[in-house]
Structure 1
Amino acid sequence: MAYTSVTTQQPLSFEDLNQPSPPVLTASGPVTVRNASPSSEDTKFLGEVVILGFERKTVHATSRSKLPVMKAYYQKHSSGRPPLFYERYFIAEYDGERAGACCLRYQGDDALFPERNEDLPQSELGCCDLFRLYIMTSGTKVDIPADKAYVDHICVLSKFRGKGIGKILLDMADMDARKRGCKSIFLLVATSNPAQHLYERQGYVFKETTCLCSCCMYCMTGEKEFALMEKVL
């Protein structure tokens, strides 16, 4: 059965984003992609996706027993933000079930969406946890040029992998970056991560390896080196 793809790029209003399900941006068979919303269901899902995508680094910075605390933190971090924040997130659904998400960042987003001290449950994290989280954040901080978009993270739930959802999310990221006048889009991926092959198929090209020195990078992020990959739009 042949599926048709329908894509819209209409700007979203605050009212749209506060609906239970924001308008569909693109559809391909059973897969649809929309922006995130401020709903508790979406922010909880975003928290779960961040932990799933960064589980190894999060465990390295804290511990496996702290994963539920970190999920709650990322959910809170995604709540109560301005409308533009949610436009940076794309949620893919498969037959109406949340299946994956992708987050884009542009120059100036750190100032627009600052970290909020009240989001971090310091009472549930020890001093060492907080320090290692700070080190991890420092080790993964990225400078974003004005004419580029950055794929902060992308993750598909395991039961939905192999269905082309990652590709559709990356296509949506390309579309959003072009709409905002970017000339290229880039990302960082651990060299041990097989997702590099997906990015290569999407047109990303390896540019360089980021490594402060294997021991130092590992201490900061739990990974020894990252590959910088970029795609011309």
Structure 2
Amino acid sequence: MADPFVTTQQPLAGDQKNPVLLSSGPVTVRNLSQSPEDRTFLGEVMVDGFEGKIVHATSRNKLPLMVKYYENSTRGRPPLFYERYLIAEYNGERAGACVLRYHGDSERFPERDEDLPSYGCCDMFGLCLLEVGTHADIPEGKAYVDHISVSSKFRGKGVGKILLDTADADAKKRGCKSIFLWVSTANRAQHLYERQGYVLKETKSWCCGCCTYCMTGEKEFALMEKDLQ
């Protein structure tokens, strides 16, 4: 049977600087560009996918500020930075995004104070707790799926699967032996990850889930990992 995935170096229409990384039917994946349209889309799709956690950490009226944060933090970065961000398109329309992280990326691409919009003290405290509750150490030889989200309009169309396939290919290219992620045990996306070959390694919570909920709005998380060898 022919491989349904076609790797190509042909640029997408309207984005001549970013070649297609992976293509399957109407779905194509490329890297993030510095264009305002790309950066705004990234912010919107990520905030939509993690709305519950952000609202828990701050408040619903702060969601636009989080979109602005994504816009700011992905501006003016070195070329390697944009290779960590995957943008999926469905028939040419932006449909989803995935963020990868590798060992040493926190030092390569440090947070910039100027990127953070103006938040109140309580909101900043909530965001700090969320960061602590969702932080992941990334060992050498492993890739980490930091975020993945698909616009509601395109869910159920295979966009998430193609993003994960592209993440696998990127991790292999960089010599990683496995790829992992953390997901709430209440999140149905676990089934997608299982179909993609991810295996449950452990579950994690603090103080019977009470502290975990205070930090993230979720009571328990599952560590899932996929062997790439």
The verdict on a shared fold, with TM-score over 0.5 as the criterion, is yes
Question: Residue 91 of structure 1 aligns with which residue?
Answer: 87
Distance, in Å, in 2 between the alignment partners of 1:103 and 1:187 is: 11
Q: What do the CA deviations read for 1:156-204 (whole angstroms, capped 9, x no partner)? A: 1111111111111100000110110100000000000000000000000
Question: Unpaired segments of 5 or more residues in structure 2?
Answer: none
What is the Cα deviation at residue 5 of structure 1? Answer: 3.0
Say how many residue pairs are matched.
223
Q: TM-score, normalised by structure 2?
A: 0.93
Distance, in Å, in 1 between the alignment partners of 2:73 and 2:167 is: 22
Residue from 222, 225, 228 that aligns with 1:230 = 225
Identical columns (%): 70
Question: Residue 5 of structure 1 aligns with which residue?
Answer: 5
Question: Residue 185 of structure 1 aligns with which residue?
Answer: 179
Aligned ranges 1:1-233 → 2 under 5 Å: 4-8=4-8, 20=16, 22-122=18-118, 125-213=119-207, 214-233=209-228
Distance, in Å, in 1 between the alignment partners of 2:82 and 2:3 is: 28
Q: TM-score, normalised by structure 1?
A: 0.91
Query: In structure 1, what residue type is equivalent to 2:129?
Result: I
Instruction: Provide the secondary structure at the position in 2 that maps to 1:207.
Output: strand
What is the Cα deviation at residue 208 of structure 1? Answer: 0.3
My pick for the range that moved more, 94-103 or 70-79, is 70-79
Q: What do the CA deviations read for 1:54-94 (whole angstroms, capped 9, x no partner)? A: 11110001000110111111111111111111101111101
Distance, in Å, in 2 between the alignment partners of 1:4 and 1:117 is: 44
Q: What do the CA deviations read for 1:130-180 (whole angstroms, capped 9, x no partner)? A: 111111111111100101000001111111111111111100000110110
- RMSD in angstroms over aligned alpha carbons? 1.8
Query: In structure 2, what residue type is equivalent to 1:53?
Result: G
Is contact 1:3-1:29 (8 Å) kept? Answer: no
Distance, in Å, in 1 between the alignment partners of 2:168 and 2:82 is: 17
Q: What do the CA deviations read for 1:100-140 (whole angstroms, capped 9, x no partner)? A: 01111000000111111111112xx2110011111111111
Question: Unpaired segments of 5 or more residues in structure 1?
Answer: 11-15
Query: In structure 2, what residue type is equivalent to 1:77?
Result: S
Distance, in Å, in 1 between the alignment partners of 2:133 and 2:16 is: 36
Structure 2 vs 1, CA of residues 64 and 179 (structure 1 numbering), >3 Å: closer, same or farther? same
Instruction: Provide the secondary structure at the position in 2 that maps to 1:132.
Output: helix
Distance, in Å, in 2 between the alignment partners of 1:109 and 1:53 is: 23
Is contact 2:9-2:19 (8 Å) kept? Answer: no
